[in-house]
Amino acid sequence: MSTTRRDEELSWGPREAHTVLHHDTPRRSGPDKVRGAALYSHDRRLPGLCYGVLVHARAGVGPVEVDLAPALALPGVLTGLQLREEVSFLGQAVAAVAAETPEQAADAARAVVVALDESGGWSLTPEAALAAGAAQVTRRGNVSGPDEDGDAEAVAKALERADFVVEAEYRVPVQHHMCLEPHGVVCDYRGGDTATVYASTQVAFGIPGSAAEALGLDASKVRCIVHHMGGGFGSKFSMDTPGRAACLLAKALGRPVHVFNDRAQEFLSAGNRSGSIQRVRAGATKDGKLSAYAVEIDRLGGVGRGAGNPAPYAYRAGATHVATRSIRTHTDSSRAMRAPGHPQGSYVTESVVDELCYGLGLDLLEFRKQNLPEGTWHRQLERVAREIGWYEHPHRTAPGRGDGWTAEGIGFGVSMWGGGGHDGAECAVRIAKDGSVTSSMGVQDLGTGVRTLVAMIAAEELGLRAQDVEPRIGDTDLPPGVGSGGSVTTGSISPAVKVAAHEARLAFAAHVAPVLGCPAERVTFAGGKVFDAQTPDRGLTWRDACATLPGEGLSGYGKWRADLQGSGVHGAQAARVRVDLMTGHVQVLKMVCCQDSGLVLNPLTWRSQVNGAMIQGLGQALLEERVLDQDLGIALNAQLQDYKIPGCLEIPELVALIDEGDTREVPIGVGEPPVIPGPGAIANAVHNACGVRVRSLPITPDKLLDGLAALRAGGATR
């Protein structure tokens, strides 16, 4: 069939040839977002809307009894329901109430009596979970594993022969996603057999099924709308407890209901990045070879397993052995969070690499290159090293000694990720007789700029400007999208949009060829014109060409194709910090990222993502940590005033570089990889500056001051 033949010819072409793609293009949602006109699910206001609030126990875990009666007696309160009979992790919601106003609903939530049977105790911390007689988190106990990989004997031999050995325990605490828009939905159900659910989700097409189940409807009768959403970072792959509660309350009331977590609930029950404890034994030889790397990893994923931590990350070691177990605690399960497991693995490996270099007096950059596969990472490391001022830096083989008032240091880290797409995304491109073009796919935009891509790709194919194409996204009534996680969105949606626009273009060419008096193959779409390739100065404007279309216009439909996207990305980062040796305060001065990701479709939003990822890495390095009190059974910082994320005054100079050495002419996702190397690079920069190795994140002034005191007392570099 001719379409097959034509499809085979389809490619993105050389990046220099693009007029829309690979050019900075302001995001389409921009004007709405700066005017407050972008409607998020949390902003939905519907006739008859009422407000639901979740109720959670403030402390402890165990069986619960819930008395809703006092709440139901309050003014404005409409209904309530118990969600579960057992609190299985700290802060898990047990009930929901709905009222006419949010104030009344909050009153009702406070009035619900939650009686928790605490007699079983709890295990909130890994230490508590491992203690004799610990409260059991699962029926099979608090520890699963270890799973082992590698050759312990070879490691032992290599360590014997190593010229320097590092033996140390590293700790990475639980980090929160801290999406600004909380998890939740507005469920628009008014009786009958259809419903619309406005969800803050990373997977619009995953919502109707679960909403329908809660509503007792047919999944095909439930529509999900996500026109804008306020951040997910991996935590929004289901409609969660607030979503289920909203549907159940709406079902009971026959009225639309708004249920979102409050901020404390976000911290306690909306997922997190798993923590880890890593006990490392690693060795290197004088000639700069990483000869052995053995690590025992405790994954801290709450009631879940936690993410795996790659070790020794991207590095090749002569011998490796990795033993991983999960320690369960009575805390919310970890979820995917931007490059799950990788920052934990990277931070520890990069730290150990620097410790080995200092032990042997080796150059930090050269050692990395020697133990990383040739090619991409070498090029990227050299690039970031130049940009950060490494070659002029005094401490390349030994750290600063911690004397004086302040000290500057540099650190490095690398990243690896997939970023390829997968089947499932479909797109419809429609050209109307009046010249307007729509590009439609139901996929959600988490803030990565997907909406803009859906327009840009079609515009490029049709010879238009990005603003000439109207993107329609975030709606399950549109052609299916994919879930946005693991950096798959770009690789999944781009081929479908490309194919759809290409089909529309072919149909348009066939239609307009007789008008132009040339064969369809010669019809060219460029610069807002439609013309015969042989007479480029004649032809029709886009509008005039469209006017020749039949009343219904024409359209093209596209599905994902593997050959129109790629996978496999690498990055390198360097950080420069200044340590105040009197106060222990660390200021990150500059971060540089060099990242490949194939054909960068929109460099402007690409830079936003890369810069944003570096900032999240900075937060993990210096600020973020969940703190729990095992004795009281409570969380100590489950509010934004107590859990610090980077703010205006912590932001360094940021440089996001597209790795020009990557010549792949296919798009690849970039959401995850730039979040990976930051913690390792910053921790290394701190050590490089002042000689103190802080082996637990975040690197706070108290830890640094302890380390400096030990250093001055002649102790080890701890």
Partner 1 sequence: MKRPPRPQARTSEASPTLSRRTFLKGAGGVAASGVLAREALANAEPSGPPRADAEVLEGPVEVEFALNGVATKVTVEPRTTLLNALRVHLETPHTGAKEVCDRGTCGACTVLLDDEPIYACMTLAVRAHGRSVRTVEGLASGDELTAVQREMVASDGMMCGFCTPGFVMSMTACLEKNPDATEQELREACRGNLCRCGTYPHVFEAGMRVARGGAR
Instruction: Provide Rg for the chain, Cα atoms.
Output: 28
Tokens 């469209």 locate to 546
Q: Quick check: 657 binds partner 1 (CB under 8 A)?
A: no
**Could you tell me the strand order of the sheet in which 586-595 lies?**
406-417, 569-580, 586-595, 653-658
Q: Would you state the structure tokens that stand for residue 278, as one six-digit string?
A: 């890593």
Q: How far apart are CA 343 and CA 573, in angstroms?
A: 13
Residue 448 contact partner, candidates partner 1, ligand FES, none, CB within 5 to 8 A by sort of partner? partner 1
Q: Give residue 616's identity as a one-letter amino acid code.
A: Q
Residue 639 contact partner, candidates partner 1, ligand FES, none, CB within 5 to 8 A by sort of partner? partner 1
Which C-beta is closer to partner 1: that of 220 or that of 467? 467
12, 170, 233, 390: which one binds partner 1 (CB under 8 A): 233
Q: Quick check: 231 binds ligand FES (CB under 6 A)?
A: yes
Check: CB of residue 225 under 8 Å from CB of residue 196.
yes
Q: Quick check: 59 binds partner 1 (CB under 8 A)?
A: no
Q: How far apart are CA 623 and CA 176, in angstroms?
A: 11
| 397-456 positions binding ligand FES, by CB under 6 A | 447
Q: HEC profile for 481-515?
A: CCCCCCCCHHHHHHHHHHHHHHHHHHHHHHHHHHH
Q: Quick check: 615 binds partner 1 (CB under 8 A)?
A: yes
Give the shortest CB-707-to-partner 1 separation in angstroms. Answer: 28
Q: Quick check: 45 binds partner 1 (CB under 8 A)?
A: yes
Which C-beta is closer to partner 1: that of 184 or that of 206? 184
Q: Quick check: 48 binds partner 1 (CB under 8 A)?
A: no
Q: How far apart are CA 696 and CA 326, in angstroms?
A: 19
94, 111, 159, 248: which one binds partner 1 (CB under 8 A): 111
Q: Quick check: 254 binds partner 1 (CB under 8 A)?
A: no
Q: Quick check: 455 binds partner 1 (CB under 8 A)?
A: no
Q: How far apart are CA 275 and CA 621, in angstroms?
A: 13
Which C-beta is closer to partner 1: that of 38 or that of 152? 38
58, 84, 221, 263: which one binds partner 1 (CB under 8 A): 263
Q: Mind giving me the DSSP string for 281-348?
A: EEEEETTTEEEEEEEEEEEE-TTS------SSTT---SEEEEEEEEE--SS------SSTTHHHHHHH
Q: Quick check: 69 binds ligand FES (CB under 6 A)?
A: no
Check: CB of residue 272 under 8 Å from CB of residue 341.
no
Residue 648 contact partner, candidates partner 1, ligand FES, none, CB within 5 to 8 A by sort of partner? partner 1
Residue 38 contact partner, candidates partner 1, ligand FES, none, CB within 5 to 8 A by sort of partner? partner 1
181, 332, 408, 662: which one binds partner 1 (CB under 8 A): 181
Give the shortest CB-647-to-partner 1 separation in angstroms. Answer: 6
Residue 611 contact partner, candidates ligand FES, partner 1, none, CB within 5 to 8 A by sort of partner? partner 1
Give the shortest CB-180-to-ligand FES separation in angstroms. Answer: 4
Q: Would you state the structure tokens that stand for residue 599, as one six-digit string?
A: 């054909």
Give the shortest CB-40-to-partner 1 separation in angstroms. Answer: 7
Q: Would you state the structure tokens that stand for residue 256, as one six-digit string?
A: 């639309």
β-strand partners of 53: 97
19, 26, 163, 507: which one binds partner 1 (CB under 8 A): 26
Q: How far apart are CA 390 and CA 381, in angstroms?
A: 10
**Which is it for strands 540-541 and 529-532: parallel, antiparallel or unpaired?**
antiparallel
Residues that bind ligand FES (CB under 6 A): 180, 231, 447
Residues that bind partner 1 (CB under 8 A): 26-27, 29-31, 33-40, 42-43, 45, 51, 74-76, 101-104, 107-108, 110-111, 177-182, 228-231, 233, 262-263, 446-449, 604-605, 607-609, 611-616, 639-641, 645-649, 651, 653-654
